[in-house]
Structure 1
Amino acid sequence: MDGDKRDKIDAMRQQIVEGHVEKTLIKLASPLIINNLVQVLYNLTDTFWLGKLGREELSAPGTAWPLVWFFMSIGMGFAIAGFAFVSQYVGAKRYDEANRAAGSLYSLMMIFSAIVAVVGVLIAPLAMDFMNVTPEVYDYALSYTRIVFIGIPFSFTLFAFNFLLRAIGDTKTPMKINAFTVFLNIVLDPFLIFGWLGFPELGVVGAAVATMVSNSIGSLIGGYLLFTGKVGIHLTLENLKPNWDFYKRIFRVGIPSSVGFSTDALGFVVLTRIIYGYGTVAFATYSIANRLINFMFAFANGISQAMGTMVGQNVGAEKYERAKKIAEKAMLINFIILSAGTAIVIIFRPQIFGFFLEDPEVLAESVKFVKYFAVSLPFFGILSAVSNVFQSAGHTKKAMVLGMIRLWILRIPLAYGLGLFLNDTIGVWLGMGLSNILSALFALAWFLQGSWMRKIIEKAP
């Protein structure tokens, strides 16, 4: 890292490990919240335009993303491991080692993403069959999925860029780049979907192409900043060379996260199959509801992500009680935010769902979804925060276990079993809600036990 950049990182580190907790949390979280809101704006815009085509077209991205997320989640595990190492090295004031760790992570992500792109394109049809995708949605979902997989290498490297800068406490730069890419995506969407101003009318495929193009440009900008040293991390060809010893450490910490995230994503593939068993109306309702949940979590996730940076650096500095205090404050803030958001969705449900799709059957189904699932969202905020604490501290096995309990032990069996028992989607939505509440209570008890309060980086030589 260059001298002036290192001074800025050192000043930010000082604020994180010694400054006012709430002020620092808000300072770090504000750009992340804006970034999340911008991303949600893209998702909402995508849903809005595809909703003009029909509920089948609107369902295509929601069908594709569990499969895409399954592969991305494997890489996300390694990104989280890199985040934990880089943030703890910065907390310990070992900046050169943080830079080398960043280079190793970036090169690993480039190699892995190229493999994922090829595999994803090839297995997409098999995945559509497994998810029991209805015939009227199948072709739309398959085309969308394959285009997104082609652009996966750019998505992965942009992902790595965001994690690396967040680890050193820079949340503004990723926000600016992501805001630009999302704005570009939003602009491209209607032109490519409907063929405005002479552009090809691509329909659902147009939405996927817009996503691929915008992510590619964002990734190239992020790579330029990293390789020119214009941000706190400075990548060179030297530190991009495969470092097998460090790769082993990334795998040791990252594999539990990769397993946890990928089994979560696989669980959502299974959940998609369960919901499709009740027809396209049920899945269209679920797709719209997911967009609303993402909007609410834009705030909560911003707080959790900022908390992760603070927890990682404080653990690296061996300030464990301060890390615990930061996490507790973040959980309380998230619970309040999500409770307020849930109340708004309940009150304005008809207007919100009707904005995306004026379909009487979907509006009727939304009553059930909101009534039996929405109340669980504040609890999921607690679970998400605890999982973030475990990951940021480098104790990824704990986060993996939490994810498996929520999805495989609770959500899928409850959603499937209650759906069969009640012979209605009420059972599915109720099972999903119960899984959030029960797993959150377990996660909170585990967090308070304190076994996560130790660092993973080696002692300084």
Structure 2
Amino acid sequence: MDGGKIQRMREQVLSGPVVKTLILLAYPLIINQLVQVLYNLTDTFWLGKLGREELAAPGTAWPLVWFFMSIGMGFATAGFAFVSQYVGAGNYEKANRSAGALYSLMMLFAIGVGAFGVVSAPYLLRFMGVSETIYPYALAYTRVIFGGIPFAFTLFAFNFLLRAIGDTRTPVKINVATVLLNLVLDPFFIFGWGPFPRLGVVGAAVATMLSNSLGSIVGGYLLFTGKVGIHLTLKNLKPDPYFYSRIFRVGLPASVGTSTTALGFVILTRIIFTIGELYGQTHGIKGFEDVAFATYSITNRLTNFMFAFSDGISMAMGTMVGQAIGAKLYERAKEIAEKAMAINFTILGVGTLLFALFRVQIFSFFINDPAIIAESAKVVEYFSASLPFFGIFSAVNNVFQSSGHTKKSMILSMFRLWGLRLPLSYGLGVLTKDTAGLWLGMGLSNVLGALVALAWFLRGSWMKAIIEEE
């Protein structure tokens, strides 16, 4: 590990001006998030040219993929907490050992997840209640994405490790390059331009898999050659029961929290199809479940664009909070978190206003479907105002994870989704006999979840380093 490089980053994080340092760390992450969202928006744009069913297919696949990835994400969160806190404490040797243990663990886990996902995809999609018109597209897309999971996982681990030491720029360069490649490949594989075969929805998945594979290979090369702050070797990649046990102890609650959250979105997909079908039958509209889910898919893409800014702030805050706690600067960690929340609320407030003002133009850009555009009015009326509150919730959740208090994060995530969003969305949808109830339930879960998260944060029980347990 390059101690000099990391020491300079550490000094900036621990003693530099809070907002300036936050922005310095956040802007590469924001660029990265925006480029990722640009890919998703482009993907939606091209698939919208094929039809409503093709546009909705990736939206059904990603809750499943996210569910399995989120299990590994919990252990990556634990590795991030250990590495960032060791760096904050100035113990670079243990930071490097923790990094190696995390990377090897992620590689092994990803291979198993990929194989299982390819085999189980048909059963999982049926469980989600995916409509017969969307199912064949969703199945083909899902299987290709699961086939590329090992590369996606190792690229994910690379991003986490470098962010833990305060290097937010290097991962962004690689991610931007892979996403741009994805953007270029998308229409060639989807429509069969030039010598490429016309693969339709599968083409979008193939472009994603190839791009992630290249990014993963480049990231691995940088880690194993020591060209970044962390230098992995075969020695520190060997299975280490002691570090694995510590990563599992801290990471298990995070895995449970993130995977149950992802499972919740699998259930939410089923709820959207169910409420859409019930509403369509009640009002004599055939195939309205596809309209409801396509509207949800586009809304997700648009909110992800807004969250690109707030997520970048939250991730940068996580690096600063983790290192501040490792250095036992608890009041600084609290100040960092509070300022990040205020910035997030402001950013998402402005984004929500723009979303409401230009709703028709935005949805029409992706697909000129009067039914979807009409449904989007309910999104603005019943859901969009809750987005700034989700910025607060996300920041608090990130504080708990970055400080290593993953049980708190697990409980918070499960409460918002399973305690609030799923019952409110389904219950209000059935009660109103309208998808307006569905959107209202989703919005209320953001507001109530944020209020509970903020109250818990202010108690300060998260201000304790996990490396003190040694």
Cα distance in 2 for partners of 1:457, 1:182 equals 36
Measured after TM superposition, the shift of residue 454 of structure 1 is 0.2
Which residue number in structure 1 is paired with residue 330 of structure 2?
A: 320
Structure 2 SS opposite 1:234? coil
User: Are positions 1:240 and 2:237 aligned together?
Assistant: yes
The alpha-carbon deviation at position 458 of structure 1 amounts to 3.8
Aligned-partner residue type, residue 163 of structure 2: R
Cα separation, 2, equivalents of 1:394 and 1:75: 16
> What is the aligned counterpart of 2:41 among 41, 44, 50?
44
Deviations 1:44-102 (CA, angstroms, capped at 9, x unpaired)? 00000000000100000000000000000000000000000000000000001000000
Determine whether 1:159 maps to 2:169.
no
Alpha-carbon displacement from aligned partner over 1:150-192 (angstroms, at most 9, x marks no partner): 0000000000000000000000000000000000000000000
Match of 1:311 in 2: 321
Aligned counterpart, 2:207: 210
Of the candidates 25, 28, 33, which is equivalent to residue 31 of structure 1? 28
Specify every segment of 5 or more residues in structure 2 that has no aligned partner in the other structure, as ranges.
Answer: 277-288
Larger mean CA deviation between 127-136 and 333-342 belongs to 127-136
Corresponding residue of 2:282: none
Of 396, 417, 420, the residue aligned with 2:427 is 417
CA distance in 1, matches of 2:124, 2:86: 40
Question: Cα deviation per residue 1:384-410 (whole Å; 9 max; x = unaligned)?
Answer: 000000000000000000111100010
Over residues 402-421 of structure 1, what are the superposed CA-to-partner deviations in whole Å (9 max), with x where a residue is unaligned?
Answer: 11110001000000000000
Q: Which residue of 1 aligns with 2:283?
A: none
Q: Which residue of 2 aligns with 1:219?
A: 216
Q: Residues 255-334 of structure 1: matches in 2 within 5 Å? A: 255-277=252-274, 278=276, 279-334=289-344
- Output one character per residue of 1:1-58: Cα deviation in whole Å (capped at 9) or x when no partner: 1xxx321110110111111111110100010000000000000000000000001000
Counterpart AA for 2:378 = K
Q: Distance in 2 between matches of 1:21 and 1:225?
A: 30
In 1, Cα distance between the equivalents of 2:335 and 2:468? 24
Q: Percent of counterpart pairs with the same letter? A: 72
Residue matched to 1:178: 175
Is the counterpart of residue 457 in structure 1 residue 454 in structure 2?
no
Give the corresponding residue for 2:87: 90
Q: CA RMSD in A?
A: 0.7
1:102 pairs with 2:99: yes
Question: What SS class does the counterpart of residue 457 from structure 1 fall into?
Answer: helix
Partner of 1:81: 78
Structure 1: 4+ residue segments shifted above 2 A: none
**How many residues of Structure 1 are paired with residues of Structure 2 in the alignment?**
457
CA–CA separation in structure 2 for the residues paired with 1:449 and 1:223: 40
User: Which amino acid in structure 1 is aligned with residue 421 of structure 2?
Assistant: R
Task: State how far apart, in whole Å, the 1-side matches of 2:196 and 2:151 are.
Answer: 24
Q: Does 1:439 align with 2:449?
A: yes
Partner Cα separation in structure 1 for residue 117 and residue 328 of structure 2: 41
333, 337, 345: which one aligns with 2:347:
337
Q: What letter corresponds to residue 320 of structure 1 in structure 2?
A: Y
Taking structure 1 as reference, are residues 260 and 31 closer, same or farther at Cα in structure 2, changes over 3 Å only?
same
**SS state at 1:196 partner:** coil
CA distance in 2 between partners of 1:18 and 1:88 (Å): 15
| AA partner of residue 333 (structure 2) | A
Residue 192 of structure 1 pairs with residue 202 of structure 2: no
Alpha-carbon distance in 1 for matches of 2:464, 2:354: 40
Tell me how far apart the structure 2 counterparts of residues 220 and 339 of structure 1 sit (CA, whole Å): 39
Distance (whole Å) between structure 1 residues aligned to residue 177 and residue 12 of structure 2:
29
From 112, 115, 136, the equivalent of 1:115 is 112
Equivalent residue, structure 2, for 1:148: 145
Three-state SS of the structure 2 residue aligned to 1:197 is: coil
Deviation at 1:322, TM superposition (A): 0.2
Residue 376 of structure 1 pairs with residue 368 of structure 2:
no
Match of residue 399, structure 1, among 390, 409, 412: 409
Q: Secondary structure at the match of 2:198?
A: coil
Residues 240-273 of structure 1 show CA distances to partners (whole Å, capped at 9, x for unaligned) of: 0000111000000001000000000000000000
Work out the CA distance in 1 between the residues paired with 2:381 and 2:62.
25
- Kindly report which structure 2 residues correspond to 1:3-22, keeping only aligned pairs within 5 A, or say none: 5-22=2-19
Q: TM-score, normalised by structure 2?
A: 0.97
Q: Deviations over 1:103-140 (max 9, x none)?
A: 00000000000000111111111111111111110000
In structure 2, the partner of 1:253 is: 250
* CA shift for structure 1 position 459: 6.7
Equivalence for 1:64: 61
- In 1, the alpha carbon distance for the partners of 2:36 and 2:343 equals 21
Partner Cα distance (2:407, 2:435) in 1:
33
1:129 equivalent among 119, 126, 131: 126
CA distance in 2, matches of 1:82, 1:312: 11
Secondary structure in structure 1 of the residue aligned to 2:134: helix
